[in-house]
Chains A and B, each alone.
Chain A
Amino acid sequence: MYLENIKTDFYEFITGKRICLITHYDIDSICTCKILQSLLKHNQTLYTLDIVRGVSDLRKIFSENCNDVKYFVLINCGGTVDIVELLDPDDDIIFFILDSHRPTDLCNIYSNGQIRLMWNMEEDVQIPDFHDIFREQTSDADESENSQNESEDESEERAAKRRRLGEEEILKRRERRLWEANRAKLIFDYTQFTYYSKASALVMFDLAWKLNRDDKDLLWYAIVALTEQLIFGKIENTQYVLETGNLQAHTTRLQNRSSDTDDATSLKISFERDLKLVLYRHWSVEASLKYSMFTACKLKLWSLKGDKRLHELLADMGLPLAQSRQNFLSMDLQLRQEFSGSIERLSEKYGLTDIIYATFVMTYGYRNKYCACDVVYGMLTILESSPRSKRPEESFQLALDCLSRSHRIILNNAIDKGKGITKTLFKTVQSALEMKQIISAGPFIYYIVQEGCVDWFMFSHQHILALLAQFIIRAYVAMSRNRKASSLPLIVSANKDMESGMCIIMGIPPLCENSPKNFFGKAFDQAAEQINYNTTCDYFDTAYFDIPIKDRTRFLDALTALLS
């Protein structure tokens, strides 16, 4: 059931009650969590915070808490699975779901109050009508009554009745079969593509705005969540631009409202046109140009010729090589100020159009200037690249702390490690291209992360694997001479860890479609059925799948057969 008015139906409903907050393990949920926490603190609502990474975690947390808490708020998890069937809750337990995964499960939409979805109905597209999916059970009852009556009557009357009833029954059965076929088709069409819609943090920020409790900190969390969706390719560019328009309006509105006493050092958020270079403010120019996905793919920087082209670009910009190898903040002031302008000027000559995009930059104090994507990379490092001994809950808490300004050191350390991740991604793609490890299997191309390569365990997490997949598909299309290369989807696979013998598989749609709608969920399910592997997908985003390593080749064969 959709909630019409979040303010009354959710926020005021929860006031004074104890709730359990269940959040998914990704950056958008962390931002939503922080916004919601500040709202709940104002309201003095008691809450408990728990983290889930997949469907089995959700089941475990629910079973632990279901006796004590009556109200569950699920952030970025549970929208796409049938909650009532999965968790089997008591009737007085109510779930509030705020999930950016789509398509929402139909049982959740048509639930009669136990499951409440916190967004508008208009944002979900093509929901099948209620009567097309659910049918009342009276027809079944009629049929069973008829069969009972038949056994009680005498044979003659039975025969006569049977003839009459036979016709009606046959008609009913035929109608029922048609209805079921239609239902199956509708459900298949509806659940065929999985995609993401508006970030949960944006919805939560809207709620904060309606309650008049918004401020620049909460706005910054919403901005980070939106940037995360863009960087991982979860939404299209047009959607991103629309949402940044909204957020820009909020920025100008909140510009002068500051809670700090000293205006020079208070938090300022500005809307700027910035370069698509990863972490360039905290790194050297040459490194950032070399390892960012955008420039690496456009200039083909993994080859020697690419290196020469990079140096040519730097020379054209008037940047001495020694300066470009220094930390950005230690470059000459004039060079720094002209840097973004000169790249824009030369973008056409080097084929780097679209390197400029609109984003938000935050400054506070005298030294700290962070772009939204810097923060996203920092948090990604904390969440997915921490040492293996650290439990996910600890990384989650650290990422929550990293967003707040008083823990600047955490963010700086994370950004430093983020540089390592970007380098590793680049090196992996470079070796994949040189050793021709991106194999074409007919209807798709695939790449398996070798166990011996450097930092292979980093790729066992969802989002870093997504970044790798994006990089590989763009690099492959840039390098390939095949004209149909851009219409091939890509599947990447990486080992999860040394002991369990499982690996994670992920698929992304081809570049030519230009849309993040992913059809691999259904494909993976069917392929798994064919190789008799009976576990369903544990992740909330069905583009990912877990299988044992020994079944991997058979799985890929089954997929090839399915998709061709």
Chain B
Amino acid sequence: MSAEKACALVKELHRNQGTLPPYNNDLVNEVTKEITQLIQENRNDAQESERSRGSDLLEGVSYISTIRVRHAAIQRNLRCLLAYHYNRVRSLRTMRWEFGSILPADIKANLSTAETNWFSKYSSILAKYMRSVGEDGGVNLAVDLHPPKALYIEVQCLVDYGRYELSDGSVLLLKKNSRHFLPRVECEELIRQGVFQHIVI
């Protein structure tokens, strides 16, 4: 059955929703091969149909239905390939906003060369934009992905972290289950690491 491999590609991406699986070069190549094969068969049939029509308009083998089926298969393959590549790039973009311009090594290993190129170009465009916004060197827009409701938040410490120095120099002792009230910018990093938990009233 044609277009099965393309379906397998999409299913693989769907199975790994949160992370990025390795770029499945083999399967992509197989799908492209299948597309070319289908196109070739279509062309053959079309030529034959043209030849057999020849003089007699009514007589002649018509392969129009087969051609249509194959055409549908070709379009399906193309759509699956596009979906695969597009979704990978989308998740790569979210990762840029979450992790910053340096990706973790295990994700970097899963990218294809085209994707790495795309990522570096995207990072540079984003950095240029962030530099231009706001005064004094720009604003790091990736700090808050949701608009913050308050300047200071109450957080609860989940692990025994030890001493932590704030940006104004004062030192905090972070023990498990201690509560603190701190400026938002100081806590974001630790919340992302899982050390802090934001307490909502």
Of A41, A48, A406, most B-chain CB atoms within 10 Å: A48
Question: CA A49 – CA B174 in complex, angstroms?
Answer: 11
**Contact status A48-B171, CB under 8 Å:** no
Question: CA A404 – CA B171 in complex, angstroms?
Answer: 30
What is the total number of residues of chain B having a CB less than 8 Å from a CB of chain A? 18
Chain B residue with minimal CB distance to A18? B170
**Contact status B173-A65, CB under 8 Å:** yes
Min CB distance A554 to B, Å, is: 39
Given A48-B180, A404-B201, do A41 and B171 touch, yes or no (CB 8 Å)? no
Let me know if A44 is at the binding interface, CB within 8 A. Answer: yes
Given A64-B173, A68-B171, A397-B179, do A44 and B201 touch, yes or no (CB 8 Å)? no
Residues in chain B near residue A64, CB distance under 8 A: 173, 175
Let me know if A212 is at the binding interface, CB within 8 A. Answer: no
Question: CA A452 – CA B92 in complex, angstroms?
Answer: 62
Question: CA A50 – CA B173 in complex, angstroms?
Answer: 11
Question: CA A65 – CA B152 in complex, angstroms?
Answer: 21
Given A46-B152, A404-B201, do A40 and B173 touch, yes or no (CB 8 Å)? no
Min CB distance A201 to B, Å, is: 18
**Contact status A47-B156, CB under 8 Å:** no
Min CB distance B201 to A, Å, is: 6
Given A48-B172, A68-B171, A68-B172, do A393 and B151 touch, yes or no (CB 8 Å)? no
Other-chain contact of A46, B156, B173, B182 (Cβ < 8 Å): B182
Within 8 A of B (CB), among A142-175: none
**Contact status A48-B170, CB under 8 Å:** no
Q: Please, what's the 1-or-0 string for B174-199, where 1 marks a CB less than 8 Å from any CB in chain A?
A: 01111111110000000000000000
Q: Please, what's the 1-or-0 string for A382-424, where 1 marks a CB less than 8 Å from any CB in chain B?
A: 0000000001011001000000101000000000000000000
**Contact status A47-B170, CB under 8 Å:** no
Within 8 A of A (CB), among B104-156: 151-152, 154, 156
Question: CA A151 – CA B68 in complex, angstroms?
Answer: 127
Residues in chain B near residue A406, CB distance under 8 A: 201
Let me know if A67 is at the binding interface, CB within 8 A. Answer: yes
**Contact status B178-A49, CB under 8 Å:** yes
Let me know if A37 is at the binding interface, CB within 8 A. Answer: yes
What is the total number of residues of chain A having a CB less than 8 Å from a CB of chain B? 22
Other-chain contact of A68, B152, B170, B178, B181 (Cβ < 8 Å): B170
Question: CA A391 – CA B151 in complex, angstroms?
Answer: 31
Q: Please, what's the 1-or-0 string for A37-58, where 1 marks a CB less than 8 Å from any CB in chain B?
A: 1001100111111100000000
Residues in chain B near residue A37, CB distance under 8 A: 154, 181
Q: Please, what's the 1-or-0 string for A475-514, where 1 marks a CB less than 8 Å from any CB in chain B?
A: 0000000000000000000000000000000000000000
Question: CA A391 – CA B177 in complex, angstroms?
Answer: 9
Within 8 A of B (CB), among A9-62: 18, 37, 40-41, 44-50
**Contact status B177-A40, CB under 8 Å:** no
**Contact status B177-A393, CB under 8 Å:** yes
Min CB distance A178 to B, Å, is: 50
**Contact status B172-A44, CB under 8 Å:** no
**Contact status B152-A50, CB under 8 Å:** no
Residues in chain A near residue B175, CB distance under 8 A: 64
Chain A residue with minimal CB distance to B177? A393
Residues in chain A near residue B182, CB distance under 8 A: 46
Min CB distance A45 to B, Å, is: 8
Question: CA A394 – CA B156 in complex, angstroms?
Answer: 10
Q: Please, what's the 1-or-0 string for A429-453, where 1 marks a CB less than 8 Å from any CB in chain B?
A: 0000000000000000000000000
Question: CA A406 – CA B201 in complex, angstroms?
Answer: 7
**Contact status B151-A49, CB under 8 Å:** no
Chain B residue with minimal CB distance to A401? B199
Other-chain contact of B181, A41, A393, A397 (Cβ < 8 Å): A41
Q: Please, what's the 1-or-0 string for A514-532, where 1 marks a CB less than 8 Å from any CB in chain B?
A: 0000000000000000000
Min CB distance B158 to A, Å, is: 11
Min CB distance B155 to A, Å, is: 11
Question: CA A65 – CA B175 in complex, angstroms?
Answer: 11
Given A44-B151, A44-B152, A46-B152, do A68 and B173 touch, yes or no (CB 8 Å)? yes
Question: CA A496 – CA B130 in complex, angstroms?
Answer: 60
Within 8 A of B (CB), among A58-100: 64-65, 67-69
**Contact status A40-B181, CB under 8 Å:** yes
Chain B residue with minimal CB distance to A49? B179
Chain B residue with minimal CB distance to A404? B201
Question: CA A68 – CA B174 in complex, angstroms?
Answer: 12
**Contact status A41-B152, CB under 8 Å:** yes
Other-chain contact of B180, A44, A49, A397 (Cβ < 8 Å): A49
**Contact status B181-A50, CB under 8 Å:** no
Question: CA A41 – CA B175 in complex, angstroms?
Answer: 22
Other-chain contact of A393, B178, B183, B201 (Cβ < 8 Å): B178
Min CB distance B83 to A, Å, is: 41
Listed by A's residue number, 13 A-B pairs whose Cβ atoms lie within 8 Å are: A37-B154, A44-B151, A44-B152, A46-B152, A46-B182, A64-B173, A64-B175, A65-B173, A68-B170, A69-B170, A397-B179, A404-B201, A406-B201
